[in-house]
Amino acid sequence: METAISKIGFSIKTDSYEGPFEVLLDLIEARKLLVNDLALANITEDFIAHVRAQKTFPVDEAASFIQIAATLLLIKSKSLIPDLILSEDENVDVDDLKRRLAAYEKVREASRELARIFGKTVMMPAGERAPEIVFAPSSDLSIGALAEALAHVLAAHKTVEELPEARVKPLVTIEEMMDRLAKRVQTAMTLSFKDFAGSAKEKVEVIVSFLALLELVKQGAVAAEQHDLDIRISHTGTAVPRYS
Amino acid sequence: MLTPPAAAHALLFASGEPLERKRVALLLGIKETEIGLVLKALTDSLKGSGVAVIETETDVELRTASEAALIVKKFRENELARDLGKASLETLAVIAYQAGATRGEIDWVRGVNSSASVRTLLMRGLIEGREDEHDRRRIRYYLTTEALAHLGIKSAADLPRAGELSAAAAAIKREETIQATE
Amino acid sequence: MLTPPAAAHALLFASGEPLERKRVALLLGIKETEIGLVLKALTDSLKGSGVAVIETETDVELRTASEAALIVKKFRENELARDLGKASLETLAVIAYQAGATRGEIDWVRGVNSSASVRTLLMRGLIEGREDEHDRRRIRYYLTTEALAHLGIKSAADLPRAGELSAAAAAIKREETIQATE
């Protein structure tokens, strides 16, 4: 884990959790690059190294990290295999990632602006006076209304709790997605193998990254299983496989 | 930078209670002999503004102006006659089914900040706060006897679906305790 | 007789909490369309006074001015803001620069699930959720006067680089809407 990261001199902050876009931007900024295809292709391995290095992965974020890793691999593959024609869906994924990253860059700027002023000059509310208490019930107050209000709160609480899992796009399982992507790129590589003469080293890296990612999904820190229409991703245990 | 009268205004506003003149002087970093002038300037600047400075020999306080008495009275009456509304009803419900709930627990169960609702319910005499026996900084809220009487029940046990709803709320409340101690 | 801005001043002072703009209009006996002008006049008259009006789209509250923060801090230190984590700050930023942002929009741009951050902000009273007018299942989030007060600004228009960053945030809304309808 250490070597994979220290290679590029980018240290992952272990004290606070970072989302995938944040990791991407950090990697790009560390290399003083602009957000474009070239930059994304450049940091693909580092991003995957980061995914692999995560000891504790927030359960519901694993999917977005892996989905982004998959899109990065597409961009990387395309940069290595010029013959690789991306499908419409794949192009959408790539464009989408770039747009979201650009938007996130602005949000990060905005949040830094807010961090600069938040809590610095707090405008205080009027001081509280001891209230004059007047018993004043209301027409909407009854035991029925109370029961209903609490039932509503409890129901809302349940919805919130369940929301994170439901938000993972229930199109395919992560495993299916990765399998498809692996086949897709491997086929393209076989077809245009002769183009690789000059970049054999990088080709190997791509394949290694792929296998590592697939392994992560299949045996490692996260296990994906399909429940009804939602995907639930859960930690299978604390044991993290080592790839070194 | 604020002028001394403006700084005094902010202090009195944030205090809510009468402040000693000498304390105001100390906080403003001026001499006690100067405070009279500063308060005079503040009084003048607030003329006709709806809010006024009330001075005694020792203390000073910000109050609504006497000309505003009518509109403030109307506001208070409106405040007490209004429907409780969703937020306050929910807050009252949590307290009804979970007697002794704290602000933190109410917020946790509702998932939103409940300070305004708690304040409303206190003012309307529907709930009362008592210090926790073990931790005096913690305030626990209970329905008042008047509220119970108004609802036509003797205790929380008489509420509809008391067992089921209390248990569910208690389960959520426990999460808060776990989170808070983590 | 008090002028409408002075009457509004008295009301806001007496209330001590945020009041709905339409409620202030009702109590003052003016049209909802006129409340903006009245509050504008009040804001102007309070300039440099140590106290200021904070306005959101729906609410209005009287608070000490941001310039008074240092002096007021001296005796209300215990209430001072706990810092927000990075995730909550980002979420707050999306909502600040794009009033009415939905959970979907926040998640879209942050690339992570924001439910915990949204909940933190709700519980701290920095944002509030309201149902979308057209689609009741959609909750839209807005800054509260409390959030503006913590940022030391009187309205969202005073946010740092408001024009530029709001324009950038508006793109988020469009993008997510396209995605959601696909």
Q: Cα–Cα distance between B88 and A153 in angstroms, integer?
A: 12
User: How much is the mean pLDDT over chain A?
Assistant: 68
SS3 B17: coil
Backbone angles phi, psi at B95, to 5 degrees: -70, -35
Q: Cα–Cα distance between A114 and C126 in angstroms, integer?
A: 13
Do the Cβ atoms of B7 and B39 come closer than 8 Å?
Answer: no
Which amino acid is it at C7? Answer: A
| pLDDT, position A228 | 37
Q: Sort residue B48 into left (φ over 0), alpha (ψ -120 to 50) or beta.
A: left
C174 contacts: CB under 8 Å, gap ≥ 6: none
pLDDT exceeds cutoff 50 at A171? no
Q: Which two tokens stand for residue B8?
A: 């005094």
Neighbours of C163 (CB within 10 A): 9
pLDDT digits (tens, 9 = 90+) for A98-107: 999 999 999 9
Q: Which of residues 139-168 of B touch C (CB under 8 A)?
A: none
Do the Cβ atoms of B50 and C2 come closer than 8 Å?
Answer: yes
Q: How far is CA A189 from the centre of its chain?
A: 27
CATH class, B4-67 region: mainly alpha
Helix (H) or strand (E) run with residue C129 in it = strand C127-131
Q: Which two tokens stand for residue B136?
A: 């005096």
Q: Which residues of chain A make contact with B161, given a CB cutoff of 8 A?
A: 147, 151
Helical H runs in chain B?
4-15, 21-28, 35-45, 69-81, 85-97, 103-110, 115-123, 145-151, 162-181
Banded pLDDT at B107 (limits 50, 70, 90): very high
ipTM confidence: 0.90
Do the Cβ atoms of B94 and B101 come closer than 8 Å?
Answer: yes
Banded pLDDT at A229 (limits 50, 70, 90): very low
> Are both C4-67 and C83-181 of the same fold?
yes
- DSSP symbol at C79: G
By C-alpha distance, which of A157, A174, A180, A162 is closest to A231?
A174
C86, C123, C173: best to mutate for the A interface, most A CBs within 10 A = C86
| CA distance between the termini of chain A | 8
Q: Cα–Cα distance between B55 and B43 in angstroms, integer?
A: 10
CB contact under 8 Å between B165 and A141, yes or no, is no
CB contact under 8 Å between C48 and B75, yes or no, is no
Helix (H) or strand (E) run with residue A74 in it = helix A62-80
CB contact under 8 Å between C72 and B45, yes or no, is no
Which amino acid is it at B56? Answer: T
By C-alpha distance, which of A72, B38, B9 is closest to C68?
B9
Answer whether C125 touches A (CB < 8 Å).
no
Q: Cα–Cα distance between B181 and C7 in angstroms, integer?
A: 47
Q: Cα–Cα distance between B147 and B121 in angstroms, integer?
A: 10
Do the Cβ atoms of C103 and A160 come closer than 8 Å?
Answer: no
Report chain C's C-alpha Rg in angstroms. 18
Answer whether A229 touches B (CB < 8 Å).
no
**Percent of chain B at pLDDT exceeding 70:** 96
Q: Cα–Cα distance between A102 and A95 in angstroms, integer?
A: 11
Q: Cα–Cα distance between B110 and B177 in angstroms, integer?
A: 15
pLDDT digits (tens, 9 = 90+) for B8-50: 999 999 998 999 999 999 999 999 999 999 999 999 999 999 9
By C-alpha distance, which of C55, C167, B54 is closest to A102?
C167
Each of the 182 residues of chain C gets a pLDDT tens digit; together they read 799 999 999 999 999 999 999 999 999 999 999 999 999 999 999 999 999 999 999 999 999 999 999 999 877 765 556 789 999 999 999 999 999 999 999 999 998 889 899 999 999 999 999 999 998 889 999 999 999 999 999 999 999 999 999 988 887 776 666 665 54
Q: Cα–Cα distance between A179 and A177 in angstroms, integer?
A: 6
Q: Which residue of A has its CA nearest to C154?
A: A123
A1 contacts: CB under 8 Å, gap ≥ 6: A49, A52, A53, A244
Q: Is the dihedral of CA A64, A67, A69, A75 positive or negative?
A: negative
By C-alpha distance, which of B121, B129, B59 is closest to B92?
B121
Neighbours of B138 (CB within 10 A): 15
Q: Cα–Cα distance between A112 and C89 in angstroms, integer?
A: 8
SS3 C127: strand
Q: Cα–Cα distance between B111 and C27 in angstroms, integer?
A: 31
How would DSSP label each residue in C138-174?
-EEEEE-HHHHHHHT-SSGGGSTTHHHHHHHHHHHHH
* Cross-strand partners of A52: none
Q: Cα–Cα distance between A36 and A43 in angstroms, integer?
A: 11
| pLDDT, position B12 | 96
Answer whether A229 touches C (CB < 8 Å).
no
Q: Which of residues 53-72 of C touch A (CB under 8 A)?
A: 54, 61-70, 72
Backbone angles phi, psi at A9, to 5 degrees: 70, 20
Q: Which residue of B has its CA nearest to A145?
A: B89
CATH class, B83-181 region: mainly alpha
Q: Nearest C-alpha of chain C: how many angstroms from A124?
A: 5
pLDDT exceeds cutoff 60 at A169? no
pLDDT digits (tens, 9 = 90+) for B131-152: 999 998 899 999 999 999 999 9
Which amino acid is it at A210? Answer: F
Q: Cα–Cα distance between C115 and C120 in angstroms, integer?
A: 9
Out of A20, A118, A125, whose CB is closest to C111? A20
CB contact under 8 Å between A135 and B144, yes or no, is yes
Q: Which residues of chain C make contact with A99, given a CB cutoff of 8 A?
A: 175
- Domain locations in chain C as residue ranges: 4-67, 83-181
pLDDT exceeds cutoff 60 at A239? no
Q: Which two tokens stand for residue A71?
A: 């899109």
